[in-house]
Structure 1
Amino acid sequence: MTPSTTAPLSAAVLEALARYDTPTICNALELVAPQRRLIGFTTKPLQCPFPDLPPIVGYARTATIRAAVASSLSPAEQQARRLAYYDYVGSGQGPRISVIQDLDGPDSGFGAFWGEVNSAVHKALGCRGVVTDGSIRDIGQWAPDFQALAGSIGPSHAYVHVEGFADEIRVAGMTVRSGDLIHADRHGAVVIPPEVAVQLPEAAELCGRREAPILEIARSPSFTLERLKEALRRSAEIH
């Protein structure tokens, strides 16, 4: 399978989406795509060792890995698969985000595909970060400004190897296809349907305007229940 051939969004739209954190993007999606209220985002906790990095937006490069058992391929075949995977990661529309499912089930995270080397390689290939339910390591040697959301942090790579790539996968409750538009930060990740992407910045601003009167009262030393009720009424009238 090859990456999605959906027409890429403009750099201006991607930059606008990256100005908001992922919870705000999820709020905006509830307005413009309410049918996705229960789908399309991570629902299980992921560790983020770099919480201060800004949100990332990019097109998914999907893969599956195993680490608890050795690959059945010969060393030459393993090398060929890995090179084919890197060709896939470095091709197609960008920017890109690597999304990797660990197939080891209860032993997910047994060995880390991600560390000093793969964070540097993927950054060089045009990725802005990784979302995986597997493990990562080499936190101190990680590629600068390369975001990471992972199921766990561990010391060894064990028998880790790429099983497949460019297929539909599921990571932390989020189903992702190759080429999907992903928004991620320390809270988790969400798939953005391309047909509503351009509407999200305006919807995010609307969410902010609706929250403003409620937050103003809630943070005020003169807070009262009656003032909160009035703020809620005013919030509901903002369109």
Structure 2
Amino acid sequence: MHTSSFVRPTARMVEALADVSAATACAKLHQMGITRTFIDGPVPLHREPDVKITGGAVTLQFLPQREDVFSGAEQEDIERKTALWGVLESIRPGDVLVVSAYASHFTGCLGDMLVRYFKLRGGAGIVVDGRVRDAARIRALGVPVWCTGVTPHYASQTELFPSAFNVPVGVGGTLVTPGDLIVADEDGAVVVPQHSAVPLAEDALLHQDREAFARQRLDEGARLSDYYPLTGAGMDEYLASRSAD
């Protein structure tokens, strides 16, 4: 099962969020009244200080196995007829694959071969509410992956099977619909609705600039209460410094 068509975000939306951190995006969305945006659980498989992706979501949904519908006793090659292969064939350059897998400790949602194909199709990164396998090979591919851990199991070996793609999914307690924007970095992954992307980015970049100013003043020995949060005399100093630039 899948949605045959959905609207991917525009290049302007993606570019607007390119320099926005997950923490800032999450905070600004909260201020805009959208409070459930953090995908709880997945962390970067690549522990690098600059790991960051921004792109439109394509989704993959795993469901619990039931023997009369789909059984892990079947061979791994049966998976090529499922949503797992279907979603990979739908990938376009810049897409972020978001996988709903119930935070399973036993299901290896993706491995080396599938992530390799994802990369060759131009995918930007992967967020999995569950585990992956072939971790060393995935790291070597350089595809940014957020997941809850690793396992030696293949996708349908134990308790789940790939059921549908490009449908709304629940991932880490958060709703993700195809075409939503994903911002992910060391702090985790955040969902940004398309209609919020540009206004959020404009406010977020200003917020990050103010924090950069406050951070500099703290490093110079200033009092925390004078510069964080930035208000009063601290804000006046910030505005004056930017006017002089």
User: TM-score w.r.t. structure 1 length?
Assistant: 0.78
Does the Cα contact within 8 Å between 1:67 and 1:110 map onto a contact in 2? no
Q: Are the equivalent residues in 1 in contact too, given 2:55–2:95 (CA < 8 A)?
A: yes
Distance 1:212-1:90 versus aligned 2 partners, 3 A rule: same
Task: Provide the residue aligned with 1:46 in structure 2.
Answer: 42
1:110 aligns with 2:111: no
Residues 1:225 and 1:153: Cα distance change in structure 2 (over 3 Å): closer
* Superimposed CA distance per residue, residues 186-233 of structure 1 (whole angstroms, 9 cap, x where no aligned partner): 321122121222223321221023324432332223x34674489532
Equivalence for 1:132: 128
Q: Distance in 2 between matches of 1:229 and 1:177?
A: 36
Q: Percent identity?
A: 25
Q: Following the alignment from structure 2 to structure 1, what is the Cα–Cα distance between the partners of residues 55 and 228?
A: 40
Shift of 1:161: 3.4
Deviation of 1:48 after TM superposition, in Å, equals 1.4
List alignment gaps of at least 5 residues for structure 2.
240-245
Whether 2:96 is the aligned partner of 1:97: answer yes
Distance 1:120 1:111, change over 3 A: same
- Match for 2:151 among 132, 144, 154? 154
Q: Cα 1:28–1:232, aligned 2, differ >3 Å: closer, same or farther?
A: same
Q: CA deviation at 1:163?
A: 2.2
- Cα gap change, 1:64 to 1:220, in 2 (>3 Å): same
- Counterpart of 2:167 in structure 1 is 167
- How far 1:117 moved relative to its partner? 1.2
What is the number of residues matched between the two proteins?
229
Q: What is the alpha-carbon distance in structure 1 between the residues aligned to residue 130 and residue 78 of structure 2? A: 20
Q: Alpha-carbon deviation of 1:61?
A: 1.7
- Counterpart of 2:242? none
Cα 1:68–1:151, aligned 2, differ >3 Å: closer, same or farther?
farther
1:68–1:110: structure 2 CA closer, same or farther, 3 Å change rule? farther
Please state how far the C-alpha of 1:66 moved relative to its aligned partner: 5.3
Judged with a 3 Å threshold, the aligned counterparts in structure 2 of structure 1 residues 169 and 155 are, in CA distance, closer, same or farther, namely same
Q: How has the CA–CA distance of structure 1 residues 13 and 111 changed in structure 2, closer, same or farther, with 3 Å as cutoff?
A: closer
Hey, what's the Cα distance between the residues in 1 that align with 2:149 and 2:229? 45
Deviation at 1:68, TM superposition (A): 7.5
Tell me, in whole angstroms, the C-alpha distance in 1 between the residues paired with 2:111 and 2:229: 52
1:123 offset after TM fit, Å? 1.7
1:205 aligns with 2:205: yes
2:170 aligned counterpart, secondary structure: strand
User: Where does structure 1 differ by over 6 angstroms across 4 or more consecutive aligned residues?
Assistant: 67-70, 73-77
Paired residues of 2:58 and 2:91 also in contact (CA < 8 A): no
- Specify whether residues 75 and 45 from structure 1 end up closer, same or farther in structure 2 by C-alpha distance, changes over 3 A only: closer
Give the superposition deviation at 1:40.
2.0
1:1-60 deviation line (CA, Å, top 9, x unaligned) = 4265336412x54234222322232244345xx111x21222x23231213253212222
Contact 1:25/1:200 (<8 A) preserved: yes
Structure 1 residues without counterparts, runs of 5 or longer:
none
- CA displacement at 1:135 relative to structure 2: 0.7
TM-score (norm: length of structure 2): 0.76
Q: Say which of 53, 58, 74 aligns to 1:56.
A: 53
1:232 aligned residue: 231
Instruction: Give the superposed CA RMSD.
Output: 3.3
Q: Residues 201 and 217 from structure 1, CA distance in 2 versus in 1: closer, same or farther, beyond 3 angstroms?
A: same
| Structure 1 residues 208 and 229, CA gap change in structure 2 (3 angstroms) | closer
- How many Å separate the matches in 2 of 1:219 and 1:63? 45
Amino acid at match of 1:153: V
> Offset of 1:129 from its aligned partner?
1.6
For 1:5, the equivalent position in structure 2 comes to: 6
Report the AA paired with residue 202 of structure 1.
E
